[in-house]
Structure formats: C-alpha cells, structure tokens
C-alpha cells in the first residue's frame, strides 16, 4: 500500500469536519476519528508498520499504549516487532495503571504508542505508569501528531503524520460563537451536554 497517512484517514472516513470537543478539552473544526481507520486491518497494519519500522533498531522489548485505541496500536506494533504488546488502563483517581497481569521488568525497553497526539495527556499517563515499573522508555510513536506546539518527553518521538489543526479554548471558540453544534466524538452521546 502506498497511500499517504492523510489519504488513509480520508478513505476510511476518519477525517471529519465540523465542530468537535477534543479529549484535551479544546474545540476544533477537524477531528481525526482513529476508530474509523483502525477498523480496517490493512490500514492499521500499514500505519503501525511505520511506527515499528522507525523503532525497529531500538531494542524494543514491549510496546505499551493507553486504552482504548492504544490496545489495537500496541498489539499491532508489537506483532510487527515480534515482542509483547500491553496497555495501561485509567484509574478512578486519575492516571493509568497496568492491570490484567501485565508487567514491565526493571530495565525492560518500552516503546509507548498512541493514536492522536494533541497535548500528550494519555502519553504522560503511560510514561508515568512505565516509570513506576522502572522500565526504560526508548521512544514514543503516534499515528497523527496534531499538537499546537512541540512537547518534549526526553525520548525519540515519531508520528506517521504531522498536521497543524486549529484548536480553540471553549471561551475563544468562533464555532461556539456562531452557534454551530458541538459534537463530542468517540462517545455514545453525539452532542456534548
């Protein structure tokens, strides 16, 4: 397959336009709905292959991602690297933790993966969970980097695609001012309350 990442998202119906509430709390006229692209094994394989290829020589021993899309991404990147794939789940008190018997041994070389990177909250949570195990983070790989500014994690960072999408705080959102309905994607409720 030789499609660009943006073409893959467009073909799968995953690049949406409207007025969206992002998980970061920001509003945007564009939303990258990763679930729509991850439903196609051939696209998932290609995108995760880009991450796996980038980190292939890094000595990765385990790939970790946040729930929920991170489960698919960590599995597929790990499969292509021939290592374990695990995921960190949300805790009620905040942050993420490895459950279900998942463990990272001290010094084990960990690649952290995620879907769409905006402010890095999910990745920070997984970094913290890995650090609690004394694992050695060798890099971070994401499908799409849509961050408004570069965020440093102190390890190599790779994205399959970099895009600059306009985001607004709720107080400064012109889409809200124009009365365009706010959509909260990725949940059973289509419109934000």
Q: How confident is the model at residue 3 (pLDDT cuts 50, 70, 90)?
A: low
Describe the crossing of helices 69-81 and 41-55 by its angle, rounded to 10 degrees: 60
Contact (CB, 8 A) for 116 and 132: no
| Tens-place pLDDT, residues 108-157 | 999 999 998 988 889 999 999 999 999 999 999 999 998 877 888 999 99
| Tens-place pLDDT, residues 36-92 | 999 999 999 999 999 999 999 999 999 999 998 889 999 999 999 999 999 999 998
Q: What is the pLDDT of residue 188?
A: 38
**Does some domain include residue 190?**
no
Q: What is the pLDDT of residue 2?
A: 46
Range of the domain at 110: 5-177
**Does some domain include residue 183?**
no
The residue among 58, 68, 65, 61 whose CA lies nearest residue 126 is 65
**Does some domain include residue 135?**
yes
**Does some domain include residue 193?**
no
Task: Enumerate residues 6+ apart whose C-beta is below 8 A from 146.
Answer: 32, 116, 117, 118, 162, 163, 164, 165
Q: Please state the domain count of the chain.
A: 1
Q: How confident is the model at residue 192 (pLDDT cuts 50, 70, 90)?
A: very low
Contact (CB, 8 A) for 62 and 126: no
Give the separation between CA 18 and CA 80, rounded to whole angstroms: 35
The pair of three-digit structure tokens given for residue 161, joined into one six-digit string:
């695609």
**Does some domain include residue 106?**
yes
Task: Enumerate residues 6+ apart whose C-beta is below 8 A from 139.
Answer: 54, 55, 58, 60, 111, 112, 155, 156, 157, 158
**What's the pTM value of the predicted model, to 2 decimals?**
0.86
**Does some domain include residue 84?**
yes
Tokens 């992002």 sit at which residue? Answer: 22
**Does some domain include residue 32?**
yes
- Please report, for the domain that includes residue 53, its CATH number: 3.40.50.2020
Largest CA distance in the chain: 53
């Amino acid at each position: 397959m030789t499609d660009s990442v943006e073409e893959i998202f467009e073909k799968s119906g995953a690049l949406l336009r409207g007025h969206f509430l992002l998980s970061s709390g920001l509003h945007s006229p564009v939303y990258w709905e990763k679930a729509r692209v991850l439903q196609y094994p051939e696209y998932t394989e290609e995108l995760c292959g880009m991450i796996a290829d980038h980190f292939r020589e890094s000595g990765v021993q385990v790939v970790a991602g946040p729930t929920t899309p991170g489960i698919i991404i960590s599995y597929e990147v790990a499969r292509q690297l021939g290592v374990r794939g695990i995921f960190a789940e949300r805790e009620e008190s905040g942050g993420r933790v490895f459950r279900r018997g998942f463990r990272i041994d001290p010094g084990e070389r960990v690649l952290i993966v995620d879907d769409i990177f905006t402010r890095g909250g999910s990745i920070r949570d997984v970094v913290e969970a890995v650090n609690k195990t004394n694992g050695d983070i060798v890099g971070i790989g994401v499908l799409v980097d849509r961050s408004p500014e570069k965020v440093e994690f102190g390890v190599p960072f790779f994205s399959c695609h970099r895009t600059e999408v306009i985001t607004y705080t709720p107080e400064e959102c012109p889409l809200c001012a124009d009365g365009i309905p706010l959509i909260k994607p990725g949940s059973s409720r289509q419109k934000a309350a």
